[in-house]
Amino acid sequence: MNHQREIFSSSQPLILESGTALESFDLIYDTYGCLNEAQDNVILIFHAFSGSHHAAGKLESDQDRGWWDSFIGPNKVFDTNKNYIICVNNIGSCFGSTGPSSLNELTNTSYGENFPEISVKDWNQAIFYLLCSLKINTISVAVGSSLGGMQVMDLISKKDVDVKKGIIIGATHKPRQLNILLNHVQRSILKLDDSSDALKVARMLSHVSYISNDFLQDRFKYNTQDLETKISDDIVYESENYLSYHGEKFVKRFNKDSFILMTKAMDSFYFDESKIDNISSKVLLISFDDDLLFPAKDMVEFHKLLKLKGVNSKHKNLKGTRGHDSFLYLTKEYKDELEKFINS
């Protein structure tokens, strides 16, 4: 598989929804496969909250394979033998695109907590600059899960790029009050302490909303944790150890300021229903029956709005395996629905 990693540096200011401008910015992105002569075989993949541009494969500098490796590659769902796949790390994140840890040239220090507030629309505008630089005007398929699904909603409702098909997985078209409060509590935890422990606890809280009780019960039952493998002395159950492990793992690759920025961006996304008239894309909506964060009813509601406006939309509610995180795990039913839509 032809796997490349590039950095797009824009000297064109990015005017954010907040009214602030980034005078310049970088986007790090991975590509898979080859762009055809007609430049119409592009699949644009949007990552979720803690994801990155590294969606598949493994370059020498990577410790692990990409977060959607089972989906992307030769003869896989997103087939690199036929398609040119692009995945971009959003600005404000912490994996190489301009974000809080980047140098603010005006102050000659890192932005830190002073990085300007960003939105889903800002992310897509930055990616539009990248697409223009690559002279890409047509997207064969735009696909995103969770936060990335919000970006697909926004993208297909714009007239900047011709998007033939949009796949929106485990997302919502408007803020959910419980999620706003959950994110508020997480940000409040981060304000209590600058140590990595605060980020760990905030992530543990969010991770609970990404999984399901059935998954926890099936995997852990009420098993107690072995003394030799306990992450901390206060742990009793295997499920507690699992959650603590994921919190510690997260701290090693994410940062507090990006966490705050990106949760606020999620909270502020409210799809403008008047923009549905702009949608010419064929749309697939996928939800999971055990998703606590963005329940299936959100996709049902959005599907009805699209159908009322004459959009060619299809909704499938699939059996989940991990709650909200089910979007990361390819089942036969999931694979069949994606392939059927892509090849239709």
Nearest to 171 by CA among 187, 151, 142, 200: 151
* Token pair belonging to 125: 């505008």
Burial (0-12, 13-18, 19+ Cβ within 10 Å), 103: exposed
The residues with which 314 forms a beta bridge, in sequence order, are 284
CB of 101 closer than 8 Å to CB of 60? no
Sequence-distant (≥ 6) Cβ neighbours of residue 160 within 8 angstroms: 128
CB of 324 closer than 8 Å to CB of 170? yes
Sign of CA dihedral 167, 335, 63, 201: positive
CB-based burial, 148-163: b 16+ in 10 Å, e otherwise: bbbbbbbbbbeeebeb
The residues carrying an active-site annotation are: 146, 291, 324
Ramachandran region of residue 188, left (φ > 0), alpha (ψ -120 to 50) or beta? alpha
Nearest to 151 by CA among 67, 198, 214, 88: 88
Q: How far is residue 18's CA from residue 33's CA, in Å, rounded to a whole number?
A: 36
